[in-house]
Amino acid sequence: MSRGKKYNKAVEFINAEMAYSVEEAVDLLEKTNTVKFDPTVEIHFNLNLEVKHADQIVRSTLSLPNGSGKVAKVCAFTDGNADELKAAGATIAGGEELIDDIAQGNVALDFDVCVATPSMMRHLGKIARVLGPKGLMPNPKAGTVGPDLVAITKEIAAGKFEFKTDKQGNVHSIFGKLSFGKDKLAENLECFLKTIEDVKPAGSKGKYINSVFVCNAMGPSIKLDMSTDEVTKK
């Protein structure tokens, strides 16, 4: 696959044989930016997990200390006050009538996260086949089902997000925008690394983290040095 001149120039800053500290990696993120807009900064974990086993799946939520840089559109299913949820940050909120509208195709599924009270879950079966394939079905494990939907909505609207392993045991996510600056990106990165360690599945055997790479959107990958646990001690 051929790359552009900007990408090839950015690659020159990176030694493919090296793994970098958090501080070195965030410094390289600035040097390897190839776009004119403010890029999202990505993180990619390869974990030594057999995700076909339920006790080797990673699925959790995270609120980064400096936010993710992404504003999530929240759809809230409630049997309570919809206006209160909209004030908390929900893009759209409602009860059974909202479920019916979605089932009939009258509502565009242009939101990022769905949340629900426990009492609404039995009604969501009607649109499970609509929400499920898009990863939008509320789930207690993802922190998107609970009695205090206002608090849940506020957290997500403020930047709390879910991450989980794919079928190959990888976790692909983001940890900010390049414009955050080195200090805030380093703080977010350290938080993410510690969180991944904290949610290590009970069924994990041997080495847990095979590799971690960070990059700007459309930029080259930078390998993190995971040979010590210094990044998870902060």
Average pLDDT, integer, range 189-208: 94
pLDDT over threshold 70, residue 137: yes
Above 60 in pLDDT, residue 233? no
* C-alpha–C-alpha distance, residues 156 and 61, integer Å: 10
pLDDT tens-digit series, residues 22-69: 999 999 999 999 888 999 999 999 999 999 999 999 989 899 999 999
> Within a 10 A sphere around the Cβ of 17, how many other Cβ atoms?
6
Tokens 């700007």 belong to which residue? Answer: 216
pLDDT at 78 over 60: yes
Reduced to 3 states (helix: H, G, I; strand: E, B; else coil), residue 93 is: strand
Compute the distance between CA of residue 50 and CA of residue 38 in angstroms, rounded to an integer.
36
- Residue 178 to residue 234: CA distance in whole angstroms: 22
Rounded Cα distance between 131 and 79, Å, is: 19
| pTM of the entire predicted model | 0.81
Greatest alpha-carbon pair distance for the chain in Å reads: 57
Q: Please, are residues 44 and 189 in contact by the beta-carbon 8 Å criterion?
A: no
What residues contact residue 130 under an 8 Å CB cut-off, 6+ apart? 102, 103, 109
Residue 114 has pLDDT above 90, yes or no: yes
Domains of the chain are 5-68+161-232 (3.30.190.20), 74-157 (3.40.50.790)
* Rg of the chain (C-alpha set): 20
